[in-house]
Homo-oligomer: A and B are copies of this chain.
Amino acid sequence: MFTVLTNLNIVNKRERCMPTPREKQRANTLDEIKTIARRQMAEHGAMGVTLRGIAREMDLTVTALYRYYPSYDDLITDLIVDAFHALADALEAGNYGLPQTAFRTRLHRIGLAYRQWVITYPSDFALIYGTPIPNYSAPRERTVPAVQRGLIAIMTPIAQAHHHHAITPIESFRSVPPTVHRYLDELIEDYSFGVPSETLYWGYRCWIRIHGTLMLEVFNHLKPSVGDSVAFYEAELQDMLNSLKIQDLSPP
């Protein structure tokens, strides 16, 4: 009776937090596979990621990889989901340590963090937002939550600023197209976002502008056009923040 309880205890402990040596080894190998895959992606593009290439670099046979991924597509899916989460992490970290009411500064920092991540990991960015990989489509149940984390990171300061009346709507308020307005209302209801649809509209517009600019930069079309992409991006951010009329409030 005593031993049984002890054993149960150990099992529970392991299940909760302590991985067995084997599980640890397995996790390490999984990590190594993904690391090498990402480097191959950086060097040869998304289509250059190859099970055989990874095996070669790990001094394994190809077939060993099938212990970790049932197929090539599952590996790609993992890379995609990881990339979305990494981007979301970067955005969230972008406004850490700032007073909650520094809405404008927070949004600005998030914009800078967005660019920093994209510039640092261009191939991960291309993987998730570039030309879709032909004959592959990621499973929505895994990507959607990861995508949403990133969007929420952008929306949060806007929503909070809106609650604190630190955004002046001006005419944009009325210019939300009715069909879009209705769609956003549905989104808000479905995911219980708890923000007015105008907020979501502004958030999306911010995201789309940031994102579009960075997409051009990372694919090498921006620098030939404007020379100094850093300065240009900063000007775009400021213009965007100005058009939102979003402000920092001193905490009460």
**Shortest distance from the beta carbon of A227 to any chain B beta carbon, whole Å:** 3
- Contact status of A129 and B221, CB under 8 A, knowing A134-B45, A211-B216: yes
Q: CB distance B212 to A175 under 8 Å?
A: no
CB-CB contacts below 8 Å: A175-215 with B:
175-180, 182-184, 186, 201, 204-205, 207-209, 211-213, 215
Q: CB distance B130 to A227 under 8 Å?
A: no
* Cβ of A131 under 8 Å from chain B: yes
Q: How many residues of A contact B (CB 8 A)?
A: 51
- Contact status of A227 and B176, CB under 8 A, knowing A46-B131, A132-B220: no
How far, in whole Å, are A166 and B135 apart by their CA atoms in the complex?
A: 49
**Shortest distance from the beta carbon of A238 to any chain B beta carbon, whole Å:** 7
A residues in contact (CB < 8 Å) with B: 44-48, 126, 129-135, 172, 175-180, 182-184, 186, 201, 204-205, 207-209, 211-213, 215-216, 219-222, 225-228, 231-232, 234-236, 238-239, 243
